[in-house]
Amino acid sequence: MFDIDKIRKDFPILNRTVNGKPLIYFDNAATSQTPQQVIDVIVEYYSNYNANIHRGVHTLSQEATDKYESARHTIQQHFNANKAHEIIFTSGTTHGINLVANGFEALLQQDDELIVSALEHHSNIVPWQMLCERTGASLKVIPMTEEGELQMDVFDALLSDKTKLVFVNHVSNALGTVNPIKTIIDKAHAFGAAVLIDGAQASPHIKVDVQELDVDFYVVSAHKMCGPTGVGALYGKETWLNKLPPYQGGGEMIAEVSFEKTTYADLPHKFEAGTPNICGGIAFAAALDYMNDIGYHAIASYEAELLDYATEKLAAIEGLRIYGTSKQKTAVISFNIGNIHPYDIGTIIDKLGIAVRTGHHCAQPIMEYYKIPGTVRVSFAFYNTQNEIDSFVEAVKRAAIMLA
């Protein structure tokens, strides 16, 4: 069923060395690696049918258009959206959030309230702060606990008829916490508020069904789920997407243009101004096919084993503290050892070929909560192994001795 040796052969980058050592790639929460099956699709695009879409009558343009629209269907099916035009191609999660935040400007008034969580990536904080500055709406924060979970009783207290929109991540990129988004969505809906879920960190590990969740907006990046950078998707309920004005003006997003009046194209094109990342969109669909072939159940149970194994090994290191101990976690471990700066650990283990993230992980409010400048973060994917974790733990022990 889950053949790790076969899977690793799909990823050419896993064969390389770094500083003379075999690469151990534990920075999957920042970006995932790309299997040969997806690389082949990218090469095929530029070798065979590179052309602009939706415009040309010529064969190449039609082939590219067909593949791009077929990619939209693959994404629709993957997330179980009701309609293909509820999938908007974006350049990634950040773009998707900005698109929605920008659109809500037309729908908000001075007294309106928006609710965010303390566990967010900066890209799910800053666009909303900018929106609040422009509209006079105010931003309320669901605080976190020591374990890195949301204080749901405070969320209940923050909700009111003034609440227009709630936005939280499905999974925290800094701590790995899986948030109770179904509960959040249902509670927000009871007050008539819309909900946007930042799914950048969940989508590589959890199979998402947007209709079952009844979520209004769900945003993802292809590059965190075995696809290329610079492409992603925004799922939006048709009713909401119709309510929002376009984000950017340009080619492709119009029905008719004159200097007196321009009318906008229907969904999804209304939100897709300009030439998109055509190859990226097609490769994104190939990445979803690849992950679905392996299967999300197999991926999740394998990654849970890696998480448990690594957590136990790391916790045994003297002076090591793990941040984020929620019972519901994906395969992310954030930690520090005593007062050693995370950057120093990261630099030493890079010399041993091991890639981890150090710093605030674009989530400074979390670091502020723990009163730390940052953490060392390891994040696993389904192509990592227990052997790699063993080498990593040895490397961390060595670094700790050197830096003590």
Which residues carry out catalysis?
A: 362
Contact of 204 with 381, CB cutoff 8 Å: yes
Using the minimum distance from each CB to ligand PLP, give the nearer residue, 39 or 126: 126
Q: Which of residues 145-174 bind ligand PLP (CB under 6 A)?
A: 169, 173
Angle at which helices 386-403 and 342-350 cross, to 10° = 120
- Distance in Å, CB of 299 to ligand PLP, minimum: 17
Helix segments in 4-92, DSSP class H: 4-9, 36-44, 59-78
Using the minimum distance from each CB to ligand PLP, give the nearer residue, 27 or 216: 27
Pairing mode, if any, of strands 24-25 and 354-355? parallel
Element (H, E) at 279: helix 278-294
Asked if 179 touches ligand PLP (CB under 6 A), the answer is no
Place of tokens 């990046």: 221
CA distance 402 to 366: 28
Place of tokens 């927000």: 188
C-beta atoms surrounding 363 within 10 Å: 25
Q: Binding ligand PLP by CB under 6 A: which of 200, 279, 376, 381?
A: 200
Q: Which of residues 213-252 bind ligand PLP (CB under 6 A)?
A: 221, 224
Binding segment for ligand PLP (CB under 6 A), chosen from 2-10, 37-45, 87-95, 186-194, is 87-95
Using the minimum distance from each CB to ligand PLP, give the nearer residue, 179 or 325: 179
Q: Binding ligand PLP by CB under 6 A: which of 92, 148, 236, 342?
A: 92
Asked if 324 touches ligand PLP (CB under 6 A), the answer is no
Using the minimum distance from each CB to ligand PLP, give the nearer residue, 197 or 337: 197
Element (H, E) at 344: helix 342-350
Asked if 253 touches ligand PLP (CB under 6 A), the answer is no
CA distance 318 to 314: 9
Contact of 86 with 96, CB cutoff 8 Å: no
Asked if 121 touches ligand PLP (CB under 6 A), the answer is yes
Binding segment for ligand PLP (CB under 6 A), chosen from 156-164, 181-189, 196-204, 344-352, is 196-204
Binding segment for ligand PLP (CB under 6 A), chosen from 90-98, 279-287, 309-317, 324-332, is 90-98
Whole-Å CA distances, 87 to 8, 77, 377, 402: 31, 10, 32, 50
Which of helix, strand or coil describes residue 88? strand
Binding segment for ligand PLP (CB under 6 A), chosen from 121-129, 250-258, 261-269, 348-356, is 121-129
Asked if 123 touches ligand PLP (CB under 6 A), the answer is yes
Beta-carbon contacts of residue 45 (< 8 Å; ≥ 6 apart) = 64, 67, 278, 279, 282, 283
Q: Binding ligand PLP by CB under 6 A: which of 10, 112, 198, 216?
A: 198
- Using CB under 6 A as the criterion, what x/- string covers residues 93-112 for binding ligand PLP? xx------------------
Which residues are at the interface with ligand PLP (CB under 6 A)?
92-94, 121, 123-124, 169, 173, 198, 200-201, 221, 224
